[in-house]
Amino acid sequence: MAGYTPMIQQYLKIKADYQDAFLFFRLGDFYEMFFEDAKKASQELEITLTSRDGGTDERIPMCGVPYHACSSYIEQLIKKGYKVAICEQVEDPKTAKGVVKREVVQLITPGTVMDGKGIHENENNFIASISVKQHTYGLAFSDLTTGENLVTTIENFDDVVSEVYSVGAREIVVASSFSDKSIAMLKDRLGATISFEDEIEKSADIVKDLPDEDMRQTFLRLYTYLKRTQKRSLDHLQKVQPYQLEEAMKIDLYSKRNLELTETIRSKNKKGSLLWLLDETKTAMGGRLLKQWIDRPLVRKSQIEERQEIVETLITHLFEREDLRERLKEVYDLERLAGRVAYGNVNARDLIQLKESLKQVPAIKQLVTSLDHSKAKERAGRIDPCDDLLELLEEALHEDPPLSLKEGNLIKDGFHLKLDEYRDASKNGKDWIAQLEQKERQYTGIRSLKVGFNKVFGYYIEVTKANIHLLEEGRYERKQTLTNAERYITPELKEKEALILEAENNICELEYKLFSELREQVKQYIPRLQELAKMMSELDVLQCFATISENRHYVKPIFSEDNVQVVDGRHPVVEKVMDSQSYVPNSCEMGKGRQMLLITGPNMSGKSTYMRQMALISILAQIGCFVPAKKANLPIFDQIFTRIGAADDLISGQSTFMVEMLEAKNAIINATKNSLILFDEIGRGTSTYDGMALAQAIIEYVHNHIGAKTLFSTHYHELTALEEKLPDLKNVHVRAEEYEGKVVFLHQMKEGAADKSYGIHVAQLAELPADLISRAKTILAELEAGAKEATPATKETPTAVAEEKPAQLSFFETNQPQKMKAKLSNKEQGVLEEFKAMNLLDMTPLQVMNELYKLQKKLK
């Protein structure tokens, strides 16, 4: 380092503490980056890479961005998962001895970004922390933009991954000793940025109410990281709320994706998801709470019914509901406004938004009080209008303040005596200037004479050169010569200028000081504002449920112990996308003697839609919304498991079939008799008989050992015979009819098994070539004829047929290697054993070739 210039030495010393971040190093009007940071940033941001002398023979790579436009560049880097350390000059260059002192004032990361395009108003921006103690995981979340904090303990790492996915955390903080394998899984499955924190604060007020020491330590690791990186007040962080996964319906990572609760599988967009369907909220706070409710449906009947009752009340009070919606439109994001106040980056326009929001609260409180329901009145009683804060903002703030805090025009007249005096001096001074211009025009007779101002010379009198001869000798003092005019000053003008400029400077300084004091006063209201935000967001989501339920003709579900009775149910999202007139509703009945439904029918007939429909109706019911049906009688499900759709997990190196098996395993291990399981065509990823055997074994296991409500769709028609063996399994199918050689899907569920698969008809609908379709029909006829000629003995079990006709490789076949082994000679067997014992991965390619040559010689 000694060979570098003092400034580069300073850079390297600071950079050593921020190895995992881009260091934005302030030099004048630019943030500069050097060395590897410069090379990488120039690629990621598509900016020019230059170089500079650093005191050594080689020039140092360098790139930079203007400080006034840095936010867009920072957003680009954060969006790509990087971190940015902001290094500012912390002393005046004019008074600095040697290199100007610089320090990192903030580390911006994907989980700590506070504003900009990276923050979506209807989504939380959580940062997570995971800790491990023996076989238990601690999981903490914090949203700096809203101040929300959560903590829980989880037994299973897969559940940790699912919970982080649900919350949508973009950054995860762990100890440096955290398992490399677990870190790789978090990166692969979630695409999250991983950060490390080994220090833990001893205590903090926000965790003092947590009864569990492990929970306290888990959150304190995250809190320590936030304090270390943000280097500013975190007063807006709310007390940490503990929760348990068992307090809500458990929906694993795969099921949330398969059911498209908050985003679609294909496009990863909100449009087409359940959240898209439901989001009739009017506030950003309500939009975020709606997503949280969808991610964590309730399992306590009393809580569900309380929400239902308020939704029902809002449906019957149409005018009050519409008035409430209009009022909520005018309520800004109170949670994030409170966060900006605490963070110190709130401006006057933000506080005007806060003021306008508070103006709506008394009317909203009155509206909710007027609803004819005790629970609604009780909620209204908890609404705090914050009248004293509203009064303070009304008195202090100018109605239309500028964005900048140092230009003045922030504070109203009459709020502060000294400010009023300065404003009066400035106004009177400017009036005097205007009068001086008129007086001098009259005295000199020069109509074009004017009094002007610029920041270099201050106030001046300007006379065109054509009129200079009209000036009285010695009246003015020449100050500046222009091409076509001369500029003059007088002692009296300079005296007034000093008074005016002093007043204007004092106005801006005093207004900024008063605004800073106002901001500190508003800070004291943060806890009350956060409570008010919770009340507003809950009301917003409940009115949203009422609006959706009425407009889309949903019904209030009734909860029973064990029976499912959904009459004319509809898939809510598909119904919205389609014309509701053409949507075909379907009923579903499950209960004693009917815990499992085995669904058969052709592709494209609606089996998967029917299964998802059942899950979405259950989720809607348990978040407190009404459901798309004529009648709905439902149990409260503790968990939902799905295996729907097929997709290779290429990142993890897992095939479609392996993904199927892992998702099936997750359901089989964790489901209870109070769960809902959806299995769509299990076993199709392997050979016919392997797949059929696995499907039957899974059905029997779930039926005999779990007893959960299960919808199982399949193309293995042989499985429909299980209805005779398993007392709680019933066959249902989706109707389809042939018309003029083409299949017509009726999308109606009927009792009993389907008679055909109609696969070739579906291929025909997809407009495959006519020759191909014709050939497929011929092959099908030959196969069906061959199947009829088979003896009953060969058709008795799948394994018997597999041995007779080994047309496909079986996943579990073991007989063939045994037969092959028996045909080998002793010498061949010895060579095989020798080859088996080799560790090829520890050998060079040349060594492998030599060993293979030796083995081949032995065989020959």
More confident residue, 420 or 766: 420
More confident residue, 418 or 604: 418
Q: What is the mean pLDDT of residues 528-549?
A: 96
What are 807's two structure tokens?
């047309």
Q: What is the DSSP string of 805-821?
A: ---S--TT--HHHHHHH
Q: What pLDDT is stored for residue 323 in this prediction?
A: 96
Q: Is the dihedral of CA 173, 110, 192, 146 positive or negative?
A: positive
pLDDT tens for each residue of 365-387: 999 999 988 989 999 999 999 99
Q: Of the given ranges (134-148, 770-784, 789-803, 827-841), which has the lowest mean pLDDT?
A: 789-803
Contacts 24+ apart (CB under 8 A), 64-70: 64/27, 64/30, 64/31, 64/32, 64/33, 65/24, 65/30, 65/31, 66/29, 66/30, 66/31, 67/26, 67/29, 67/30, 67/31, 68/29, 70/24, 70/31
Largest interatomic CA distance in the chain = 131
Where would I find the beta strands (DSSP E) of 345-442?
Answer: none
- 787 falls in which pLDDT band (50, 70, 90)? low
Measured CA to CA, the distance from residue 741 to residue 769 in angstroms comes to 16
If you count them, how many residues does the chain have?
860
Residue 595 pLDDT exceeds 60: yes
What are 628's two structure tokens?
């798309």
pLDDT tens for each residue of 53-105: 988 888 999 999 999 889 999 999 999 999 999 999 988 888 888 889 999 99
Measured CA to CA, the distance from residue 530 to residue 544 in angstroms comes to 21
Q: Of the given ranges (237-241, 427-431, 583-587, 711-715), which has the lowest mean pLDDT?
A: 427-431
Greatest mean pLDDT among 203-207, 414-418, 785-789: 414-418
Please name the residues in contact with 124: beta carbons below 8 A apart, sequence gap of 6 or more: 143, 145, 146, 148, 167, 168, 288, 291, 292
Measured CA to CA, the distance from residue 573 to residue 294 in angstroms comes to 14
Does the fold of domain 417-519 match that of domain 279-341+349-386+525-551? yes
More confident residue, 307 or 346: 307
Measured CA to CA, the distance from residue 299 to residue 289 in angstroms comes to 17
Query: Nearest to residue 24, comparing CAs of 114, 111, 106?
Result: 106
Which CATH topology does 558-567+577-757 take?
Answer: Rossmann fold (3.40.50)
Structural Rg of the chain based on CA atoms: 37
Q: What is the DSSP string of 686-723?
A: S-HHHHHHHHHHHHHHIIIII--EEEEE-S-GGGGGGG
- 789 falls in which pLDDT band (50, 70, 90)? low
Binding residue positions for ATP: 601-608
Q: What is the mean pLDDT of residues 815-840?
A: 68
Residue 599 pLDDT exceeds 60: yes
**Terminal-to-terminal C-alpha distance of the chain:** 66
Q: What is the mean pLDDT of residues 594-617?
A: 89
pLDDT tens for each residue of 764-785: 766 778 788 788 778 777 766 7
Predicted TM-score of the model (pTM)? 0.80
Measured CA to CA, the distance from residue 206 to residue 240 in angstroms comes to 6
Helix (H) or strand (E) holding 288: helix 284-295
Q: How far is CA 583 from CA 108, 758, 791, in A?
A: 49, 22, 45
Q: What pLDDT is stored for residue 819 in this prediction?
A: 45
Domain ranges across the chain: 6-108, 126-247, 279-341+349-386+525-551, 417-519, 558-567+577-757, 824-859
pLDDT tens for each residue of 655-705: 567 777 877 888 899 999 999 999 988 877 666 778 888 889 999 999 999
Q: What pLDDT is stored for residue 344 in this prediction?
A: 81
Quick check: 776 and 784 in contact, CB under 8 A?
no
Q: What pLDDT is stored for residue 568 in this prediction?
A: 94
pLDDT tens for each residue of 281-303: 999 999 999 999 999 999 999 99
> What CATH code would you report for 279-341+349-386+525-551?
1.10.1420.10
Reading phi first (left if > 0) and then psi (alpha if -120 to 50, else beta), residue 47 is in beta
Residue 791 pLDDT exceeds 80: no
Residue 404 pLDDT exceeds 70: yes
pLDDT tens for each residue of 311-323: 999 999 999 999 9
Coil vs helix vs strand at 832: helix
Q: What pLDDT is stored for residue 792 in this prediction?
A: 47
Binding residue positions: 601-608
Which CATH topology does 126-247 take?
Answer: Nucleotidyltransferase; domain 5 (3.30.420)
Q: What is the mean pLDDT of residues 612-618?
A: 96
Q: What is the mean pLDDT of residues 538-565?
A: 95
Q: What pLDDT is stored for residue 793 in this prediction?
A: 42
Statement: 6-108 belongs to CATH 3.40.50.300 = no
For the chain, give the mean pLDDT: 86
Measured CA to CA, the distance from residue 399 to residue 412 in angstroms comes to 8
More confident residue, 793 or 491: 491
Q: What pLDDT is stored for residue 276 in this prediction?
A: 95
Architecture per CATH, 417-519: Orthogonal Bundle (1.10)
What percentage of the chain has pLDDT greater than the value 90? 53
What percentage of the chain has pLDDT greater than the value 70? 91
Measured CA to CA, the distance from residue 289 to residue 123 in angstroms comes to 9
